[in-house]
Amino acid sequence: MPAVLNVLRDLHRIHQQLTDLRERLERCPRLLKAAKKQVDDAHQLLTDQKAEIQTFHLAAKEQELVLEERAAKILDRQARLKECASNKEYQMLKDEIQSDESANSKLSDKILLAYEAIDQQQEQAQSLAEEVARVEQEQQKTAEQVAEREAALNTDLERIQAELQNAEAELPSEFVGEYRRISAAKGEDAFGQVSDNYCGTCSRQITAQMNNDVLTGKLTICGSCGAILYPKE
């Protein structure tokens, strides 16, 4: 078998490895971004929950003010009961006091329920804060793993790039120009492994003459996809 065929096979494998390594490197920032989004989302949920608690708290405080004002009025009316000039006025004040007492009784129940709801919301906020801590830890772990993976992939990349240079140096001169042009444009698809007269890259059939050229190590380019062809082992 002509030596050039081994070089072409090596170059194809090396380009495939480079593509694979680059794809894996590209996934690294995506993993970091996903971890950051988890943290951001968890923070947002906690912030929203705290804002809601604040709103509920203010509403409860307002209702407490209403309660206090009404209680003060009741006391005031109770004082005036003693100075009443007529039975009619006395009865009117009594009725007003009763009506306010009834309203305040309902309102204090309502305030109690509001504070119970706030307690529950605070428990939920606590869980959300724990979730924030969990995803932040997760993010930290992801960042460490990604840094390790990136370093390993970059080491592999350097090694494979050195292999590429060595393999390229072995390429016969008549292949160099086409190889440079096609590999720059197509990366790993710059090569097609021929098996049973078919190009492995585009799956189209090649002519018997082309197949013969491929087997004898002549520079042969797939008419369909433009890949440099070499035979399967």
87: amino acid identity, one letter: N
Cα–Cα–Cα angle for 138, 140, 142, rounded to 5 degrees? 70
- Give the integer Cα–Cα distance in Å for 207 and 204: 10
For position 224 contacting Zn ion by CB under 5 A, the verdict is yes
Q: Which is nearer to Zn ion, 10 or 189 (CB)?
A: 189
Q: Provide the token pair at 215.
A: 């087997």
Q: Which is nearer to Zn ion, 31 or 225 (CB)?
A: 225
- Binding segment (CB under 5 A) for Zn ion, from list 63-71, 107-115, 170-178, 186-194: 186-194
Q: According to CB under 5 A, which one of 201, 211, 221, 228 is a site residue for Zn ion?
A: 201
For position 206 contacting Zn ion by CB under 5 A, the verdict is no
Q: According to CB under 5 A, which one of 84, 202, 215, 219 is a site residue for Zn ion?
A: 202
Distance of CA 41 to the CA centre of its chain: 10
For position 222 contacting Zn ion by CB under 5 A, the verdict is yes
Residue showing tokens 């709103």: 55
Binding mask 95-134 for Zn ion (x = CB under 5 A): ----------------------------------------
Residues 15 and 101: beta-carbon distance below 8 Å: no
Q: Could you tell me the strand order of the sheet in which 228-231 lies?
A: 198-199, 191-195, 228-231
Cα–Cα–Cα angle for 128, 132, 137, rounded to 5 degrees? 145
For position 8 contacting Zn ion by CB under 5 A, the verdict is no
Positions in the binding site for Zn ion (CB under 5 A): 192, 199, 201-202, 222, 224-225, 227
